[in-house]
Amino acid sequence: MKLAISAALVGSASAWSTLTMKAQTPNSRRNILQKGAAIATAIAAPAAANAYAVPDLLYPFEALEPYIDAPTMKIHHDKHHGTYVANINKATEGKDEVDILELQLNALEAGPAYRNSGGGHYNHAFFWDEMAPPDEAKKTKPSAELEAAIDKAFGSLDEM
C-alpha cells in the first residue's frame, strides 16, 4: 500500500497499533461483518490498488487548539491534502505502484506533479501522524541527543 509509511520511518509506533477483538464464534455478527468487508475490499481493490489516500486523523480537528485551530486543521486535512492526493493519483494513473518515499527520492527527475503533489501528500501524512494534542504531547520526550541540542540552543524544552 502506498501510504504505508512505516512506523520506523515516522517514529511513532504507538499511533500505528490498533485494538482488535476476537469474534465469539466463527459465525458471529462481527466475523460475518469482517468477512463481508474483506470481500468488498477485494472486489474494489483492483480499481484502487495504485491510489494514494488521505489518512484518517488520530485525533479530532480541534485537538491541537489553541496552537492550531480546528478550521485550519480541517482545511489542510480535507482540502489541501485531498487535492495533493487527487493530483498524485492522477499523475500516477496507469503506472506501476510506487512507494511515496521512493517517489519523493526521484521527484526531481519525475517532474513537478510528482514533486509538488507527492511531496504535499507525504508532508501532510507525516504532519498528521507526528502531531499530538497538547496533553498527549507532554507525555513524550525527545531523544537524549535532541534534548541535549534543545537545551544547548534554548536552555530547555519549555524555553524553546
- CATH annotation of 7-154: 1.10.287.990
**Any idea where the domains of the chain sit in the sequence?**
7-154
pLDDT by residue for the chain (160 residues), tens only, comes to: 333 332 323 333 333 333 333 334 444 555 455 544 543 433 333 344 558 899 999 999 999 999 999 999 999 999 999 999 999 899 888 777 767 677 667 766 777 888 889 889 989 999 998 898 988 877 788 899 999 999 999 999 888 8
Q: How many helices (H) and strands (E) does the chain have?
A: 11, 0
60 Ramachandran zone, left/alpha/beta (phi>0; psi -120 to 50): beta
